[in-house]
A and B are shown apart, each in its own frame.
Chain A
Amino acid sequence: MTTPILEIQDLHARAGERDVLQGIELTVAPGEVHAIMGPNGSGKSTLANVLAGRPSVDVTHGKVLYRGADLLGMAPEQRAREGVFLAFQYPVEIPGITNMYFAKAALNAVRAHRGEKELDAFDFLSLAREKMKLVEMDEALMNRAINEGFSGGEKKRNEILQMAILEPTLAVLDETDSGLDIDALRIVANGVNSLRSADRSMVLITHYQRLLDYIVPDVVHVLSSGRIVRSGGKELALELEEKGYGWLEEAAAG
Chain B
Amino acid sequence: MAEAQDLQKLAEREYEFGFVTDIETDSAPPGLSEDTIRMISNKKDEPEWLLDWRLRAYKRWLTLEDPAWAKVKHPPINYQDIIYYSAPKPKKQLESLDEVDPEILRAYEKLGIPLLEQKRLAGVAVDAVFDSVSVATTFKAELEKQGILFCSFSEAVKNHPDLIQKYLGSVVPYADNFYAALNSAVFTDGSFAYIPEGVRCPMELSTYFRINAANTGQFERTLLVADKGAYVSYLEGCTAPMRDENQLHAAVVELVALEDAEIKYSTIQNWYPGDKNGKGGIYNFVTKRGKCAGARSKISWTQVETGSAITWKYPSCILQGDDSVGEFYSVALTANHQQADTGTKMIHIGKNTSSTIISKGISAGHGDNTYRGLVRMQKGADGARNYSQCDSLLLGDQCGAHTFPYLEVQNSTATVEHEATTSKIGEDQLFYCQQRGISEEDAISLIVNGFCKQVFRELPMEFAVEANNLLSLSLEGSVG
Taking beta carbons and an 8 Å cutoff, which residues of A are in contact with B?
A: 52-56, 75-77, 79-81, 85-86, 88, 91-92, 94-97, 102, 105-106, 109-110, 113, 145, 162, 166
Contact, CB under 8 Å: A77 / B434: yes
What's the Cα separation between A219 and B436 when bound, in Å? 27
**Interface 9-residue window, one of B30-38, B237-245, B401-409, B439-447:** B439-447
**Does B76 lie at the interface of the complex (its beta carbon under 8 Å from any beta carbon of A)?**
no
Q: By the criterion CB–CB under 8 Å, are B435 and A56 in contact? A: no
B146 within 8 A of A: no
Q: Contacts A55-B2, A145-B450 given: A92-B434 contact, CB under 8 Å?
A: no
- Among A75, A102, A113, A145, the residue within 8 A (CB) of B436 is A102
Whether the pair B435, A96 counts as a contact (CB closer than 8 A) is no
With A55-B3, A106-B436, A109-B436 already in contact, the answer to whether A76 and B429 are too (CB < 8 A) is no
Interface pair B442/A97, CB less than 8 Å apart: no
Residues of A within 8 A of B437 (CB): 77, 80-81, 106, 109-110, 113, 166
Give me 28 A-to-B residue pairs in the complex whose CB atoms sit less than 8 angstroms apart, sorted by A's number. A53-B435, A55-B427, A75-B434, A76-B431, A77-B435, A77-B437, A77-B438, A80-B437, A85-B435, A86-B435, A88-B435, A92-B426, A92-B428, A94-B429, A94-B446, A94-B450, A95-B450, A95-B451, A96-B450, A105-B436, A105-B438, A106-B436, A106-B437, A109-B436, A109-B437, A109-B439, A110-B437, A113-B437
From residue A94, how far is it (CB to closest CB) to chain B in Å? Answer: 6
B110 at interface by CB-CB < 8 Å? no
In the bound complex, residues from chain A placing their C-beta under 8 Å from that of B439 are 77, 109
CA distance A54 to B427 in the complex (A): 9
Q: Which of B2, B431, B442, B449 contacts A96 (CB 8 A)?
A: B449
Q: How far apart sit A52 and B430, CA to CA, in the bound complex (Å)?
A: 13
Residue of A nearest to B455 (CB): A96
The distance from the CB of A75 to the nearest CB of chain B, in whole angstroms, is 7
Contact A80 B434 (CB under 8 A): yes
Structural contact, A52 and B435, CB atoms closer than 8 A: yes
Which chain B residue lies CB-closest to A80?
Answer: B437
Q: Are A76 and B434 in contact (CB under 8 A)?
A: yes
User: A94-B446, A96-B453 given as contacts; is B436 within 8 A of A80 (CB)?
Assistant: yes
Chain A CB within 8 A of B454 CB: yes
Residues of A within 8 A of B451 (CB): 95-96
Q: B residues touching A (Cβ–Cβ < 8 Å)?
A: 2-3, 426-429, 431-440, 442, 446-447, 449-454
C-alpha gap A76/B450 in the complex (Å): 22
- A94 lies within 8 A of B447 (CB): yes
Q: Which residues of A contact B442 (CB under 8 A)?
A: 105, 109
The interface residues of chain B lying within 8 Å CB-to-CB of A113 are 437
Residue ID in chain B nearest A112 by CB atoms: B437
Q: Which 6 A-B pairs have the closest CB atoms?
A: A96-B450, A96-B453, A106-B436, A109-B437, A80-B437, A97-B450
- Min Cβ gap B439→A in Å is 5
- Docked-complex contact B446 and A105, CB < 8 angstroms: yes
Report chain B residues within 8 Å CB of A77: 434-435, 437-440
Query: Which residues of B are found within 8 Å of A81, using beta-carbon distances?
Result: 437
Contact residues in A for B453 (Cβ distance below 8 Å): 95-97
Least CB distance, A114 to chain B, in whole angstroms: 10
Whether the pair A56, B450 counts as a contact (CB closer than 8 A) is no
Instruction: Give every chain B residue within 8 A of A79 (Cβ-Cβ).
Output: 435
User: Could you tell me the distance in whole angstroms from the C-beta of B299 to the nearest C-beta in chain A?
Assistant: 25
Knowing A55-B2, A55-B427, A105-B446 are in contact, say whether A94-B438 is a contact too (CB < 8 A): no
Smallest distance from the beta carbon of B404 to chain A beta carbons, Å? 24
Residues of A contacting B3 in the complex (Cβ-Cβ under 8 angstroms): 55
Residues of chain A within 8 A (CB-CB) of B436 are 80, 102, 105-106, 109, 162, 166
Q: How far is the CB of B479 from chain A (nearest CB, A)?
A: 11
Q: Determine the chain A residues whose CB is within 8 A of the CB of B426 once the complex forms.
A: 92
Residue in A80, A94, A95, A97 whose beta carbon sits within 8 Å of that of B435 in the complex: A80
Q: Is the CB of A91 within 8 A of B432?
A: yes
Interface centre among A53, A54, A55, A94 (most CB of B within 10 A): A94
B125 to chain A, nearest CB (A): 31
Residues in B neighbouring A97, C-beta threshold 8 A:
446-447, 449-450, 453
Least CB distance from A95 to B in Å reads: 5
Complex Cα distance A81/B433, Å? 12
Q: Which residues of chain A are within 8 angstroms of B433 by Cβ–Cβ distance?
A: 94, 102
Contacts of B429 in A (CB 8 A): 92, 94
Given contacts A81-B437, A106-B436, contact A56 B427 (CB under 8 A): yes
Q: How far is the CA of A225 from the CA of B469 in the complex (A)?
A: 48
In the complex, which residues of chain B have a beta carbon less than 8 angstroms from the beta carbon of A109? 436-439, 442
Task: Considering the complex, give the chain B residue whose CB is closest to the CB of A75.
Answer: B434
A106 interface neighbour in B438, B449, B450, Cβ under 8 Å: B438
